[in-house]
Structure 1
Amino acid sequence: MQIQREGMAYKVDHEYDYLFKIVLIGDSGVGKSNILSRFTRNEFCLESKSTIGVEFATRTLQVEGKTVKAQIWDTAGQERYRAITSAYYRGAVGALMVYDITKKQTFENVQRAIPESEAQAMAEKDGLTFLETSALEANNVEKAFQTILLDIYQIVRKKALAAQEAAASVPAKGTTIKPKKEKIEKAQRDGLQVKLDIIAINSPQALIHDCTSSLALAEKTRSGN
């Protein structure tokens, strides 16, 4: 299996078309771990414990006819783990910012406001998508991940097309082949000017970079980290 990194997304042959790394960000106890387990295993744990460091799980699904493998990283919310968890943000192409609607402080820590209407307005202002979810009731969890994966894929596709168009607009470099001297002299005697250019054109390679998408999630039920 061959893996090619294109910017911050990974394009993979054979088993799947793309590998997207997404991180879950938010305070401890807002429900990040249960959101992850609901999406990847369709499970919910009432006695979920706080994550120590980082954990991750994967799930493969179809996005606009492409097979996408989502690699979801669940980061610890406690302050003492911030230095460790922030290192795992590298290479991520998406982020789910999770807060508990019953705890205003968790909103403030991700710089969002607690009422749904205000959170929606803030999300629109910052160019984010806003959803209220419940891992306990399996409400909107699937939609949240489907939304961010679709956003990321569309960004990747748009940048690939833009790169191809840019490459196509650049004059191709090639080799100029001139006719032999006697042919030029004969053409000049006949009153003609001769110049023959043969251009070797290389197929443009699409370059993808700076692919990012963010989604603000309001977790309705406080259900562990």
Structure 2
Amino acid sequence: MSQLSQWKPAIVPQAEPIEGRFIRLEKLDPTRHGEDLWEVLQGPESDPVLWNYLPYGPFAERAAFDRWLEGNAASRDPLFYSVIDRTNGQVQGILSLMSIVPEHGRIEIGHIAFGAAMQRTPKGTEAVYLLGKLGFELGNRRLEWKCNNANARSKRAAERFGFTYEGVFRNHMVIKGQNRDTAWYSITDQEWPAVAAGFERWLSEDNQPAQGQVESLQACRAQVK
């Protein structure tokens, strides 16, 4: 059994703004962010499979969507952030820190709902990197990612981001009247420096010039290990 004589419980996140190269993260504010989020998450150009594996949505009416945003904004765990495109100021998605257990140094990134404008761009990757970085700066020992085991897109994302697959919790939940087996992934504090360096190399101007990506995230991470 390893000893943690120098470790102290993690600090609870407060949703302070975080600036990135492509995006800015701010605490979810339905009054300021709601109009954009309704458009990108429910509008005619929204991702048609966005809500398939989430425990809520889609929303046929704006009033129900606004109530959902208001509940999210009031929550401290999950703690929701809006993702704002720095080039045009549009709010293009939300995600959260959740399962916040400071006494054990454990925290999770989840409740991810990115609009189509974020997908296949550096913005979603940077959002995950910035929250992961915050999680470890607050003193956490473990960053988690969990998803429906049938959600191939989320599982690919976890692996691309550098999370380690840990297995499946069978019959873990009932979501929208269906069984959910949950796939578990994690990054530990020992692994994070190399994972973070890969993110930073991938997000750099050298790798993300105006014409698009040069090397994949996996290739960037392999070069810094």
Same-fold status (TM-score > 0.5) = no
Which has the higher relative contact order, 1 or 2, with Cα contacts under 8 A spaced 6 or more apart? 1
* TM-score normalised by structure 2 residue count: 0.28
Structure number, greater radius of gyration: 1
* TM-score normalised by structure 1 residue count: 0.28
